[in-house]
Amino acid sequence: MSHALTNRILAELNRVRLIDPHSHINPHAAAAKTLGDILGYHYYTELAHSAGLARDRIEEPGLDPKEKVSRLIPRLCEIENTVQYGWLIDLCRAFFYFEAGTITEANWEGLYDRALETLSQPDWEQQVLERSGLDAVFLTNDFDDPLTGFDTDRYIPCLRTDDLVFHLTKLETRQRLAATTRIDFDNPLEFEQALGALFQRFTRGGARACAISLPPDFEPVPVAAPAAGRLFATLRSGSELTLEERRQFSQFVFWKLAEACAEYRLPFDLMIGVNRRVYEAGVYQGQDLFDGRCSLIQYRRLFNAFPRVMFPISVLASGMNQELVSYSWIFPNVATNGHWWYSNTPAYIELDCRSRLQAVPQSKQIGYYSDMYKLEFALPKFTMYRQVLARVLADDFVVARNWTEEQAVELGRRVLRDNVERIFPKISSNAS
Amino acid sequence: MSHALTNRILAELNRVRLIDPHSHINPHAAAAKTLGDILGYHYYTELAHSAGLARDRIEEPGLDPKEKVSRLIPRLCEIENTVQYGWLIDLCRAFFYFEAGTITEANWEGLYDRALETLSQPDWEQQVLERSGLDAVFLTNDFDDPLTGFDTDRYIPCLRTDDLVFHLTKLETRQRLAATTRIDFDNPLEFEQALGALFQRFTRGGARACAISLPPDFEPVPVAAPAAGRLFATLRSGSELTLEERRQFSQFVFWKLAEACAEYRLPFDLMIGVNRRVYEAGVYQGQDLFDGRCSLIQYRRLFNAFPRVMFPISVLASGMNQELVSYSWIFPNVATNGHWWYSNTPAYIELDCRSRLQAVPQSKQIGYYSDMYKLEFALPKFTMYRQVLARVLADDFVVARNWTEEQAVELGRRVLRDNVERIFPKISSNAS
Amino acid sequence: MSHALTNRILAELNRVRLIDPHSHINPHAAAAKTLGDILGYHYYTELAHSAGLARDRIEEPGLDPKEKVSRLIPRLCEIENTVQYGWLIDLCRAFFYFEAGTITEANWEGLYDRALETLSQPDWEQQVLERSGLDAVFLTNDFDDPLTGFDTDRYIPCLRTDDLVFHLTKLETRQRLAATTRIDFDNPLEFEQALGALFQRFTRGGARACAISLPPDFEPVPVAAPAAGRLFATLRSGSELTLEERRQFSQFVFWKLAEACAEYRLPFDLMIGVNRRVYEAGVYQGQDLFDGRCSLIQYRRLFNAFPRVMFPISVLASGMNQELVSYSWIFPNVATNGHWWYSNTPAYIELDCRSRLQAVPQSKQIGYYSDMYKLEFALPKFTMYRQVLARVLADDFVVARNWTEEQAVELGRRVLRDNVERIFPKISSNAS
């Protein structure tokens, strides 16, 4: 009975059209071209590497996509248990007429060719959006991305600011910012002017969020202008900053970004907890890990200082989810956002989803984002989430609290779709 | 079948009469007077504020209770998903003849008036105790509460010591302690005498626990008398203590409290992990949060030094629950106590309850306390707990371990009721 | 249906013959002699002590086993709820013709005598291995254990190195190492030679793992030879090392062990997170606890430095399990290993098992080890694990992902058995 109930709720959730609030889609090449693009997703390369495939077999320069797939296939049997492999099978069945339960050395070539045929259709991008129920997809744009040549109602710009906060100490990054804003900056005031120009271009270009990923030990605090001025002076002189100065410089830039978010009314999407390049011999994008010892208490000054900026927050460690629930329950400007990366597996989604639905105002929860690099992954990833969500709605709301199925589905619709529009509203172009 | 089994166990648990081992009840105004007292519970004001209601709309001085309710109602729809909202509906159905599933702008006034009628009955306090199955309720008494004018068998005094440990540096607190004990104290020895007088008054007044809430970074250690003497001298001189001196002074007072607990045979109820005033613009009692990075290893010296003091422990972060299970399994003087605040939602209760029942001696587990400010909340809060407990007993004991239903119910009874009496026994008045 | 499915999978898992990859079995006295050996397992003594039995009642010198049991029995009723008590009942039913659900003051003597009869059979050791499905059991050998006089195919040596890493500062430990290797060492180079001799003896003696348990604050880093040389010189002079020097000395020895593991192709089994002697008045082996604030990030240099050494990892805190999942998913040389000690209860095993099966390559997961001191405990402990595993396979694979039962059982077989052979292969005796 509960199983049938879950399936009825799931069927309704499957009808909800989606806006995916975080992805790494390239709007100029949004869909995959070959199965190589699919199996090139870092989940498959890193898991295959973890299971024993040498990195240089995967990342050999100039490797033909079909050859790359042929090298990955023999290792896939070691990862058939993973949910990421499950996405792959779901995707192949949904889009490539695949009927087997596993991809093997015997059946992969036929799959490769059928995939190529499908992916080569001129309207494939439109088809995959439609069949995945996607109305729009948020992008991850470098600060000097041009934001032109694509439909920004479908592919919504999002200003990604990791480079500014963590790499503005590099001359090259400063030159890129000066070039894109046409503002030479050499002190805090000029830097603020450059940021202003940047935010103006992004908000006029349709951006609906500013975003950043942050290491576990990051703690946002304001940095006074004179101290920041000395840091700019050191950089100007060509000297290296000390570790402590680098930390302070990152804090300065981050705080200025938050001020710009306030001024330009952009939500500031924080993805908290990643340590970059922990496994330096790992495959591309398969080098980052985390330190679970991180707390949202580090963000208290930020949340207090910017009551008008909405902070949708993703945490990398499921162990931080209870803090996220509690901070979202108390702070009006903190919202829960999706299930990120190492927490994006059903075991963790289930606990995190349940605890959020039980204690955070329903208007402040963004259920899920795909984090995908190619459009084909929205379908299996959102499907995984919807299955968990349907089960939680059935058990915790219909059964435990006697909600009607309609109420449960409505709650699901809010976290799946409505809150994306509410929390990341369209900015009128003359804001500020 | 498992569902029916759970319900049979639940029906038995519902018959167990309760002693609520921790509340904030005012024994002179134990029940609510209006729906304003119900909706004024910080869970509703803080969640409504989190969902967008301005604090000054909620906390306007002199606000009429009905007007206050009328302002909260429109925001309640944003928190219908929360379990705290579930308590509200359960409570209104149980006590106020409410039949709808949600409180709306259309139906709230009728509810307000029916509630007023119910709450105005002269024997309402007795009724709500009876209908909630409550035999007695522990209080939270300031150290200078008079403890008179109420039945201390029904409302059991509990000495709350946060002010002593964290605010004795304030002249006003020292004066209050001197006044209530009639002992002027200006050095460690005199302070111990004051504490002795205080504990004597409380134990003679029927107190059955000493209690305190502690921040995540607190670490109890003994402080030698000369060092403590210097701190008293500094205070006497009117100087401010440094941060480090304040920390040491708190440690001194805390350790002396533990010694008094040993002498007067009071359990020392530790509520570990709260950071106060994290969100300073929040509503009353809606400003506190936590830092999950806290460990019971900080308490090793305490647990070792006081083998005869029982320490019932609440942890704010569910992430600390496994430590609590393990420390209770190893230390004879450590017991598990309820599901506190941000961990008091079914998703966390379930995991925490299961892990405790599987590994801590059954005699050392206090299942639940209400933490309520008004009597009406015992019913829905204990109901939530009993539902989780019944499910865990059904799944983990009857199904997984072939226990009889009677055995399972008996285990439930122990953690719900018997252990409260065992762990917080009546103190004979001439103890010490 | 799901229940029947789980039982069908469980029945198949019960047929899998086991190699237990971690135990404390004494190969010269592998089985229990009396019920006193069973109830002497630290779980029962520490839980009985936690429930109020004085340590000196349990550890009285020269205590007769039957008398010891008679003292423990009255306290067992307080721990009937624990899963550890569940093991005891399962064990008594499986081996000692016990039919009651609890051991009481009325029935224990009969049980004691029947147990004695069973355990006194000359072929009991063979019987218990057979009835438990055990093909082989890994040992925990001190570095100067002789490794002779037993069948090393059945009882597989494992070099335990806690003493070397944490107690080589003691003269006695250094003398023991010098004696067993016949190499006097007084500097880093000579110490490496001694380690070489030690690893040679162990690998020739059939050892298939090097193992160690580590405190939460341990961080492996290489220590340069000159710094290590100074530490040896200080030790030679008879001076005490400072705390910081002791830490560095432990790091030096640990790193050298990892180098030896690389050279001799031994997996290095890390058991991370235990604080020793937290409760010093506790019973034997019932004094250790943990600090949940520990991260695998502390091991980044180790994992990067030794790509050819496999590190099967156990974490004491379930809160570290997500890090373990993530590090095993990224690092080819990190594998998940069992459910250790305070995480070895169904509530934690379930979450930890689910998250591992969903995201770590199936070839890199060792499902379970017994950690037992007497052979009789393999049956109930593996049974507990198999029950959880069967449920997870049923729910997360057959139901949620449409796997066939055969596929699910095959996955179970890999983590239960095959991976032990894969991750701890037999070393050819002329390795290095």
DSSP states of B85-148: HHHHHHHHHHHS---SSS--TTTHHHHHHHHHHHHTSTTHHHHHHHHTTEEEEE--B-TT----
Residue type, C364: K
Matching residue, tokens 């005033």: B277
Instruction: For residue A354, give the chain B residue with the closest CA.
Output: B347
Euclidean distance between CA atoms A336 and A328, whole angstroms: 7
Name which of C295, C307, C322 is nearest A293 (Cβ-Cβ). Answer: C295
Q: What is the pLDDT of residue C431?
A: 43
Q: How far apart are CA A139 and CA B132, in angstroms?
A: 54
C277 touching B (Cβ < 8 Å) = no
Judged against a pLDDT cut of 80, whether residue A1 lies above it is answered with no
For chain C, the C-alpha Rg in angstroms (whole number) is: 22
**Residue C54: is it exposed, middle or buried by C-beta count within 10 angstroms (0-12/13-18/19+)?**
middle
Q: Is C74 on the interface with B (CB under 8 A)?
A: no
- For residue A53, what is the nearest residue in chain C, using CA coordinates? C332
* Contact C429/A at CB under 8 A: no
Residue whose C-alpha is closest to residue B276's, from B362, B216, B334: B216
Residues in chain C with pLDDT values less than 50: 430-432
Residue B429: pLDDT band with limits 50, 70, 90: low
Assess B152–A contact: CB distance below 8 Å, yes or no: no
A49 touches chain C (CB under 8 A): yes
Contact of B296 with chain C, judged by CB distance below 8 Å, is answered with yes
CB contact, 8 Å: C323 with chain A?
Answer: yes
**Is the pLDDT score of B1 beyond 70?**
no
pTM, rounded to two decimals:
0.97
Q: Identify the residue among B75, B81, B284, B320 best suited for mutation to test binding to A, counting A beta carbons within 10 A and taking the highest.
A: B81
Q: Is the pLDDT of residue A431 over 60?
A: no
B346 closest CB neighbour out of A293, A325, A396: A396
Gap between the Cα atoms of B268 and B270, Å rounded: 6
Judged by CB atoms closer than 8 Å, whether chains meet at A292 and C320 is answered as yes
Measured between alpha carbons, how far is B8 from B14 in angstroms, rounded to an integer? 10
By C-alpha distance, which of A29, A8, A6 is closest to A372?
A: A29
Q: Is the pLDDT of residue B431 over 80?
A: no
Residue type, A47: L
Give the closest-approach CA distance of C74 to chain B in angstroms. Answer: 13
Mark yes or no for CB contact A297/B286 under 8 Å: no
If you search the block for the tokens 């009723």, which residue do you land on? C77
For residues A374-393, average pLDDT: 98
Gap between the terminal Cα atoms of chain B? 54
The pLDDT of B196-219, averaged and rounded, is 98
Residue from B296, B315, B363, B419 whose CB has the most chain C CBs within 10 Å, to mutate: B363
Q: Which is nearest to B368 in space by CA: B382, B357, B348, B380? A: B382
Which pLDDT value is given to residue C432? 41
- Segment (H or E) for C374: none
Phi/psi for B373 (5° steps) reads: -105, -20
Given a cut of 50, whether residue B432 has pLDDT beyond it is no
Pick from A81, A91, A354 the residue to mutate for testing the C interface (most C CBs within 10 Å).
Answer: A81
Confidence of residue A48 (pLDDT cuts 50, 70, 90): very high
Q: Is the pLDDT of residue B430 over 50?
A: no
User: Which DSSP category does B426 fall into?
Assistant: P
Do the interacting molecules here have an ipTM over 0.95? yes
> What are the pLDDT digits (tens) for C239-261?
999 999 999 999 999 999 999 99
β-strands C268-272, C274-275 pairing:
unpaired
Interface of C with A in 174-203 (CB under 8 A): none
Helices and strands in chain B, H and E counts: 20, 11
State whether the Cα torsion C409-C410-C414-C418 is positive or negative: positive
**SS3 label, residue C14:** coil
- Residue C427: per-residue pLDDT: 78
Q: Do C347 and B354 touch (CB under 8 A)?
A: yes
Q: Cβ of C361 and A275 within 8 Å?
A: no
Q: Longest Cα pair distance anywhere in chain C, in angstroms?
A: 71
In 3-state terms, what secondary structure has residue B311?
strand
Q: Is B186 exposed, middle or buried (0-12, 13-18, 19+ CB in 10 A)?
A: middle
B418 to chain C, any CB pair closer than 8 A? The answer is: no
Chains touching chain A, criterion 3+ CB pairs below 8 Å: B, C
Q: Say whether A297 and B291 touch across the interface (CB within 8 A).
A: yes
Q: Assess C340–B contact: CB distance below 8 Å, yes or no.
A: no
Q: What is the pLDDT of residue C2?
A: 78
Q: Does C410 touch chain A (CB under 8 A)?
A: no
| Sign of the Cα pseudo-torsion (C352, C357, C362, C367, in order) | positive
Contacts of A281 in chain C (CB under 8 A): 304, 307
Confidence at residue B422, expressed as pLDDT on a 0 to 100 scale:
98
Residue B427 confidence (pLDDT): 78
- Compute the nearest-CA separation of A84 from chain B (Å): 26
* Mean pLDDT of the region A159-164: 98
Measure CB to CB from residue B329 to each of C47, C291, C343 and give the nearest one: C47
Under an 8 A CB cutoff, do C387 and B396 touch?
no
Contact between A359 and B319 using a beta-carbon 8 Å cutoff: no
Q: Please calculate the CA angle A300-A195-A208 and round it to the nearest 5 degrees.
A: 70
Residue B311 dihedral angles phi and psi, to the nearest 5°: -115, 95
| Cα(A145)–Cα(A139) distance, integer angstroms | 11
Q: Of the candidates A307, A326, A364, which has its C-beta nearest B281's C-beta?
A: A307
Stated as kind and residue range, the H or E segment containing C8 is helix C2-13
**Cβ-based contacts of B297 with chain C (< 8 Å):** 275, 278, 289-291
Encode pLDDT of C29-69 as tens digits.
999 999 999 999 999 999 999 999 999 999 999 999 999 99
Task: Using the predicted structure, report yes or no on whether residue B387 has a pLDDT greater than 50.
Answer: yes
Chains A, C: CB contacts within 8 A come to 106
Candidates B41, B50, B93, B294, partner chain A, best to mutate (most A CBs within 10 A): B50
Among candidates B322, B359, B411 on the partner chain, residue whose Cβ is nearest the Cβ of C83: B359
Q: Are B185 and B164 in contact (CB under 8 A)?
A: no
Indicate which of A401, A404, A407 best probes the interface with B, i.e. most B CBs within 10 Å of its own CB: A401
In the prediction, which pLDDT does B2 show?
78
Interface check C320 vs A, CB under 8 A: yes
| B278 interfaces chain A, CB cutoff of 8 Å | yes
- Facing B332 at nearest CB: one of C49, C275, C318: C49
d(CA A271, CA A273): 7
Q: Is C297 on the interface with A (CB under 8 A)?
A: yes
pLDDT at B281 over 90: yes
Query: Do A364 and B49 lie within an 8 Å CB cutoff?
Result: no
Q: Give the contacts of C153 (CB within 8 A, at least 6 positions apart).
A: C136, C206
Q: Using a CB–CB cutoff of 8 Å, tell me whether B295 touches chain C.
A: yes
User: Which whole number is the average pLDDT over A41-68?
Assistant: 97
The strand pairing partners of C213, in sequence order, are C271
Contact A348 C300 (CB under 8 A): no
* CA neighbor of A376 nearest in space, from A102, A113, A95, A150: A95
